[in-house]
Structure 1
Amino acid sequence: MNDKVSVQVVTFGAMNFAMQQNYVPLVRSVTIKNNSDEEIKDIMLKISFEPEFAKPFTHRIEVLPPHTEIEVSPVNIIVSTEFLFSLTERIVAQISVQLLCGEEELVNVGDNIDLLAYDEWSGCYIMPELIADFVTPNHPAVSGILKIATDYLRKWGKDPSITGYQSRNADVVKLQMAAVYAALQSKNIVYNNPPASFEKAGQRVRLPYSVIEQKQGTCIDLAVTYASCLEAAGLFPLIMIKKVTHTAVAALKRKLLPIV
């Protein structure tokens, strides 16, 4: 080991199944700097993982001039889909970065990364838009809600067809949304705290089929469930996250959102 070369590794600090499926890079970049007065030839960069949730990565640098830094990007690391999907609890993994010049080891550093459970949303600090990955319009449980929605449309004396935007009529679209909402109300879903988790940011998300079958969920769970049903109906929902007080949330539950 010596200090003539330094390495900086940039990661998101966390990875889960949703991030992997959306091609979020595990390692964003690796910067290598030659701090010496001499050029260094034939450098081999090696990145490995413990546990082996991703394939080892290697990259060859032919020459690194003195007092120069280069950035290796993109760092195309292949992460195991099966490994991430199998996680039911968060684990701390390690990324090891090694620089070799022939038989000489120039650098050997490590960093921790959190591997999140497959149903864990990373929250508003790391790609909040990933909440959309929990919208699952093709699950049979969601289809059951649409069937109930058609019954409500018929009960209201309207066309029971779920046609999305085909009618080009805003009132018809609103009726479909209202029918889906009423169908969810009929399930008597109650509010329940998120599943047990030890994260300081984000939370575990109950998938829509679980909300419908277990008749319980958080605000996020219910928003994702409603969005799943609208998506299945051919509508395009938008999930918005806003910070509100507990008093405001309680008022919404009582007056506006009886399914919560």
Structure 2
Amino acid sequence: METSSETGDAAGISAAPVIEVVADIAASFTYASFQNAIPVIRSIALNNPTQQGFEKCTLELTSNPPFLRAKSWTIDRIVAGDRLPLSDRKIDLDAGYLAGLNEAERGEITLRLTSGGAVLAEQRVAVRLLARDEWGGVVDMAQLLAAFVMPNDPAIAGLLRSAAELLAAHGHPSSLDGYQSGNPQRAFMLAAAIYSAIAGLSLHYAE
């Protein structure tokens, strides 16, 4: 989600000259985002299209609700007509807040650039805060799908036991030996037994 700062009186920003804050910010966050160190900001830069330079600037990042730690950058100088990329993009998510979400909610990230008390630019970005066990889908969180696999969940032991019993009932060794046999057909058989064990639970989809 790449956006640039709002300008003009409607955004509550000082009159021109105005600097643009251009940031590529993740659209969704969940507890898995924290656990897997997914970056909040993929890139951020300050564009100064004016003929005026600015000194002793401060860029502040905050969120509402406070699902991340506030951060500020001190910028000594922004040269006229220049584009200044910021290399420090480390933003800390609040693990406790994200872990406590049972329902998705709307959030907002604000980036505000000031100099000498004057607001030079302000950017507000709407984001989605997902429940702890909610995946954001392929578009936003394709890389996080594996984070929702829980091999140590207590329910897994029961499924594996059922799969072993199904193998034995059909005259096959009941050991779940994975690829140790070196026989691809054995691996397929184990996968089929586990699938049958899951099907035997008669699970139903719930929105």
Normalising TM by the smaller chain, what interval? 0.7 to 0.9
- Which structure's relative contact order is higher, taking Cα pairs within 8 Å and 6+ residues apart? 2
Pairs aligned (count): 193
Aligned position for 1:254: none
Aligned position for 2:58: 44
Q: CA RMSD in A?
A: 1.8
Aligned position for 1:226: none
1:145–1:183 CA contact under 8 A, matched in 2: yes
- What's the CA shift for 1:74? 4.8
Among 157, 160, 184, the residue aligned to 2:174: 160
- What's the CA shift for 1:130? 2.6
Aligned position for 2:15: 2
2:27–2:140 CA contact under 8 A, matched in 1: no
- Identity of aligned pairs, percent? 27
Change (3 A) 1:21 1:173: same
Aligned position for 1:185: 199
Q: Which amino acid aligns with 2:114?
A: L
Give 3-state SS (helix, strand or coil) of 1:46's partner. strand
Task: Please give the per-residue CA displacement for 1:212-244, whole angstroms capped at 9, x wherever unaligned.
Answer: xxxxxxxxxxxxxxxxxxxxxxxxxxxxxxxxx
Query: For residues 194 and 56 of structure 2, what CA distance do their matches in structure 1 show?
Result: 62
2:135–2:141 CA contact under 8 A, matched in 1: no
Given the two structures, how large is their TM-score scaled by the length of structure 1?
A: 0.68
Q: Which amino acid aligns with 1:105?
A: V
- What's the CA shift for 1:46? 0.7
Query: For residues 120 and 199 of structure 2, what CA distance do their matches in structure 1 show?
Result: 63
Which residues of structure 1 form unaligned runs of 5+? Answer: 195-260
The ranges of structure 1 where at least 4 consecutive aligned residues each deviate by more than 3 angstroms after the TM superposition are none
- What's the CA shift for 1:9? 2.5
Q: Which amino acid aligns with 1:156?
A: H
Among 97, 101, 120, the residue aligned to 1:83: 97
- What's the CA shift for 1:120? 2.0
Query: For residues 192 and 82 of structure 1, what CA distance do their matches in structure 2 show?
Result: 29
